[in-house]
Amino acid sequence: MNSQTYIEVKNMSFCYPRSQFRLEDISLQLNRNDITALVGENGSGKTTLGKILTGILKPASGEIQIGKKDIKTLDLGEIGKKVGYLFQNPEKQIFAASVYEDVSFPLEINGVSPEAIKDRTESILKELEIDHLKDKYPFNLSHGEKQRVALAGILVNETEYLILDEPTTALDTDRKELLGRMLQKLHSQGTGILIISHDEIFINKFCGRVLKMKQKGGITDEKV
């Protein structure tokens, strides 16, 4: 076992209540010193696996550890402080009436000091080039803008690991480049990253390890 292992999955199986789809006996380790890509056909279970790793879905059997702790002992809020998860549909994780408030409110609720909140929120908005939108109503933004607002909302937590479900789908070429460079910077600071994506160019450029979902619910490791 790698000393940098952050998320460990052992013999995990999963099935949805009313569906044929299943994941069977999956074992894998996700490390903090990698930017890992998770690829596979539509419907192969990438989003499902991502949701299992963040505790949204509960596996039928097997074990999952995040930072050496059994996922069953953590509640979703605690997981959210360790692992940032970007939904495939960013609208699902936007809550407040302005972009600034949306990015900052979890910090407020968790009792971070006002100065630190202001600092962290403003710098993340600037970095993602959405500081000009900070007073806007998030639900009326474009898809690519929403995606970056949602991303800001999870990056502001400064988590040790990130799972991003198709973060590049709505981004233009420049914004993809921007995202890639941001992820590289976070990676150099010690954040582990898993990117679920179909974007081969992006993966080839930024990811050092590629996991591939196969039909019948298996998974293989393919180095680029």
Partner 1 sequence: MKKFDPRSKLIFVIAVSSLGVFIKDLYLLSAVTILSLAAAQMTGGNIIRGIRKLKTLYAMIIVIAVLQSIFNNEGRVLFELFEIPLMTTAGLERGIEFILRMTIIIISATIITTSTSREMIQGLVQLKIPYEIAFLVSLGIRFLPMLTEEIKDSFTALKLRGVVLKNISLKKKIRIITYLFLPVIAGTIKKAEKIALSMETKGFRAKKHRTSYLILKYSKSDYYLIAFSMIILLTFTYLNNKLK
Ligand X SMILES: Nc1ncnc2c1ncn2[C@@H]1O[C@H](COP(=O)(O)OP(=O)(O)OP(=O)(O)O)[C@@H](O)[C@H]1O
Residue 75 site contact among Mg ion, ligand X, partner 1, none (CB < 5 to 8 Å, cut-off depends on kind): partner 1
3-state SS, residue 139? helix
Is 147 among the residues that bind partner 1 (CB under 8 A)?
no
Part of the chain binding Mg ion (CB under 5 A), chosen from 18-26, 87-95, 140-148, 185-193: 87-95
Residue 113 Cβ, how far from ligand X at the closest point, in Å? 39
The secondary structure element, H or E, covering residue 152 is helix 143-155
Compute the residue count for the chain.
224
Query: CA-to-CA distance for 65 and 171, rounded, in angstroms?
Result: 32
Q: Which two tokens stand for residue 163?
A: 């799972």
**One character per residue 92-111, x = contact with partner 1 (rule: CB under 8 A):** xxxxxx-------xx--xx-
Part of the chain binding ligand X (CB under 6 A), chosen from 38-46, 73-81, 112-120, 146-154: 38-46
Q: Which two tokens stand for residue 7?
A: 């998320």
Q: Which is nearer to ligand X, 26 or 156 (CB)?
A: 26
Q: Which is nearer to ligand X, 171 or 186 (CB)?
A: 171
Query: CA-to-CA distance for 120 and 130, rounded, in angstroms?
Result: 14
Query: CA-to-CA distance for 7 and 4, rounded, in angstroms?
Result: 9
The residues of the shown chain that bind ligand X, judged by CB under 6 A, are 16, 19, 21, 40, 42-48, 88
